[in-house]
Amino acid sequence: MEGLFLPLLLMLVVAIPLFLGSRKQKQAVQRQQELQNNLVEGDRVMTTSGLYATVADTSGDTTIDLEIAPGVVTTWLRQAVREKVEPIVEDDEADETESDETPVIESATEVETAKSDEDEKTEAEKAGPQVAPPLEHGKK
């Protein structure tokens, strides 16, 4: 009996983690399958490649149409949908309060500073974008 105890114990030590790992994997596959089957038009999703899109059509059994930009609809495999994401909610009140606030200038030095800042901005805008010179590989 003592000769069988050690091999049996080793088998249990190996078998239990294998069993628990496969159980977790089955549950994850089941959740993913439920997500893909429960998609409806208008849901925001993220694909496995990281593309955010809106579900446009779910009539296909193995495919789904995703709108990636206004008027641009592409067809994807359902398995490519990784997760459902919450739509972005813009806070209109915060935008209004930020745009309504104007800085109050109290002294003449502040007026001069504000004018010089505006002049610097316009000079930078006139110069256009800065472009780096091309890299020269292999030339010495």
Confirm whether 47 is domain-assigned: yes
Most confident of 31-35, 88-92, 115-119, 125-129: 31-35
Confirm whether 131 is domain-assigned: no
CATH (domain of 70): 2.30.30
Confirm whether 62 is domain-assigned: yes
Confirm whether 2 is domain-assigned: no
What's the distance, CA 27 to chain centroid? 24
Calculate what percentage of the chain has a pLDDT beyond 90.
Answer: 33
Contact between residue 56 and residue 67 where contact means Cβ atoms under 8 Å apart: yes
Confirm whether 52 is domain-assigned: yes
The pLDDT assigned to 99 comes to 53
Confidence class for position 9, pLDDT limits 50, 70, 90: confident
Q: Scanning the structure block, which residue is given the tokens 């998609």? A: 39
Confirm whether 132 is domain-assigned: no
DSSP code of residue 104:
P
Residue 109 clears pLDDT 70, i.e. is over it = no
Structural domain of residue 27, as residue ranges? 14-85
| Phi and psi, residue 127, nearest 5° | -65, -25
Contact between residue 55 and residue 41 where contact means Cβ atoms under 8 Å apart: yes
Contact between residue 79 and residue 39 where contact means Cβ atoms under 8 Å apart: no
Q: How many domains does the chain have?
A: 1
CB atoms within 10 A of CB 64: 26
Confirm whether 25 is domain-assigned: yes
